[in-house]
Structure 1
Amino acid sequence: MIRLANRTLQESGMLLITLLISITVTYAQQRPTPFRVGMPLDSIRLSDPYILADRNTSTYYMTGTGGKLWKSHDLKYWTGPFDVVQHDTASWMGKRPDIWAAEIHAYEGKYYYFGTFTNTAVKIDTVKGNIIDRRASHVLVSDRAEGPYTPLNDSLYLPAHMPTLDGTFWVDVDQKPYMVFCHEWLQNWDGTVEKIELKKDLSGTVGKSTLLFKASASPWSRENVDGQTVPNKVTDGPWLFRTQTGKLGMLWTSWVFDVYTQGVAYSTSGTLDGPWIQEKLPFTPPNYGHGMLFRTFEGKLLMSVHSNKNVDGRHIRYPHFFTIDDSGDKLVLGELLD
């Protein structure tokens, strides 16, 4: 658990939000979820919703925080949750790790599960009085979209001394595969988005990570520190895309004071190396974030996000879809499909 030491009220507030969300996530993962058939989307509680539109099975697969899987044929009614993760219980993850922000990517005939695993029994650092759990983005593999997902060769992927999260997948113009992830603000106090090359079969990483940008680069995410308005420390949920004109962009999420909000950045070089130019204003309305893009089987581009609702002190998160127009150099937000 996060311990609060002497610091400004504003920093304590941000840590308190992080603590409450962490407690809520852990509680939700430990609580059994009944198996349901035909469950409406608005009845599902899920953080960081990710959709794989799998044409091989004509099925939409939804995953996210919790490591479970839901299935649908119309994006309205869902069956699940299914257990799909078979991690190595003898590894650093331990027997029952928390799983955050899971994604499923189809790549060269297989399906790859990018997830953030947290072993709360292992502590890796203490920064400003905050004890940091062992947490890292990691990759599992399966021959089927619905799993099960099992370990690849690399037992680490990312350095053990870094708390990393929200790893996503991208093949850049050099045709090399990469993981793009966040180095958590709780350690560096200015969260980063970074890239690291993956082996061709995604079975491990190559070399060291490269910084893409820091949270402080954002003109829209804000917090109060010592009575002054400054950039927020949080980087969360990167997602890469290209518009129909070929412009490379990235959705990512932070906070506007105490409201979870998503922004977007664009690469001037058209590659992961950037430089990344942040849009001045948030991309989503307040209280929507951790977005990703997918096309329906009918060809419509949608963005999957979650919203937050405080219920008796617990942060409850619900999945939603927005329509998106990517015909120009920049994404245009459409309507909320509720």
Structure 2
Amino acid sequence: MKKRELLLLLFSLCSVLVSAQQKVPNRFRTNIPLDSIHLSDPCILADKKTSTYYMTGTGGLLWKSKDLARWEGPYRVAETDPDSWMGPKPEIWAAELHEYNGKYYYFATFTNNAIKIDTVKGNVIPRRASHILVSDKPDGPYKPMKDPTYLPANMPTLDGTFWVDSDGKPYMIYCHEWLQNWNGTMEKIELKPDLSGSIGKGKILFRASDSPWSREKMEDKVLPNRVTDGPWLFRTGTGRLGMIWTSWVFQDYTQGVAYSESGTLDGPWIQEKEPITPPNFGHGMLFRTLDGEWMMSVHSHKDVNGRYIRIPHLFKVDLSGDKLKID
């Protein structure tokens, strides 16, 4: 089997496993240790108003905790419109929670496998896009807003995240999926002031091939990996703008970091030479605990007898200097 075909097969298996995971009934549990939860792309909101941590990710579910150690859930919090392009039961990937101007926003990737938008190199691409839901409460329910779409319908996008840039305007940062363009991109698009829709067109920030650390093997050649995944923006203690994001080092899911030379989303973005996390930890995000300590939430990525096991993990981080450091 050629390397390209193997990569497509692995991607397809991941999609099937995520889809199957969402169809399995979830039994509500309490007092659950973090490492007993199977969850991809964990994102944690530390809400001071309720003194509670809210964790979401792939699957459209929510977990709650008072101390980050013991959790209860899962809760179903995303309410999509069955008459929209998403259909009655969309897959939900990489959900994030963001508080902004007194409301709570649910950034997620929604997939409707019944709609096919493209076929590239023999691979059929379904309708998939980053989208935003809103709620008055951190635990939802999260519901659609005004605009039915944020990004072009003929373009598969994923892992949308939120950032207010130095111009004071809100933006969505997202990935144009490599399966269509064959060299995944990281892009930005301006959002309306209430995040109810997007303004204008997206702009490319960097491409997967810009990374000096991510690699894949194609036949007898070692090349830059094509995947961009899981962006998250931050500023260091010196005010430097950075972005953590994930790709692959051959078969290892791994996270790197880039910094903007201009201090704005427009970059240029300079990639660090080495990954920021150990192998098979990725899709990270940063949050400040209720006690003011900076943490990184990631998931581990492990293949057990052909089944992907993904578990949330927390790393302490240091943002006091000019670079992000993992303690």
> TM-score band (shorter)?
over 0.9
Secondary structure at 2:155 match in 1: coil
Q: Is this contact kept in 2: 1:49–1:62, CA < 8 A?
A: yes
Name the CA distance, whole Å, in 1 between partners of 2:2 and 2:250: 13
Cα deviations by residue, 1:123-156 (Å, 9 ceiling, x for unpaired): 1000000000100000000000000000000101
- Which of 121, 137, 148 matches 1:144? 137
1:314 CA displacement: 1.5
Residue 265 (str. 1) matches residue 258 (str. 2)? yes
Secondary structure at 2:209 match in 1: helix
Tell me which residue corresponds to 1:82.
75
Residue 95 (str. 1) matches residue 88 (str. 2)? yes
- Which of 23, 26, 32 matches 2:25? 32
* 1:1-338 → structure 2 map (5 Å cutoff): 9-334=2-327
Q: Is this contact kept in 2: 1:262–1:284, CA < 8 A?
A: yes
Tell me which residue corresponds to 1:5.
none
Name the CA distance, whole Å, in 2 between partners of 1:170 and 1:247: 14
1:270 CA displacement: 0.1
Gaps of 5+ in 2: none
- Which has the larger displacement, 307-316 or 325-334? 307-316
Q: Is this contact kept in 2: 1:136–1:163, CA < 8 A?
A: yes
Q: Report % sequence identity.
A: 67
Name the CA distance, whole Å, in 2 between partners of 1:121 and 1:310: 28
Secondary structure at 1:42 match in 2: helix
Report how many residues are paired. Answer: 327
Secondary structure at 2:11 match in 1: helix
Gaps of 5+ in 1: 1-7
RMSD of aligned Cα (Å): 0.7
Secondary structure at 2:5 match in 1: helix
Q: Is this contact kept in 2: 1:20–1:315, CA < 8 A?
A: no
1:102 CA displacement: 0.2
List 4+ stretches of structure 1 deviating above 2 A: none
Instruction: Please give the TM-score of this superposition, normalised by the length of structure 2.
Output: 0.99
Instruction: Please give the TM-score of this superposition, normalised by the length of structure 1.
Output: 0.96
Name the CA distance, whole Å, in 2 between partners of 1:332 and 1:176: 28
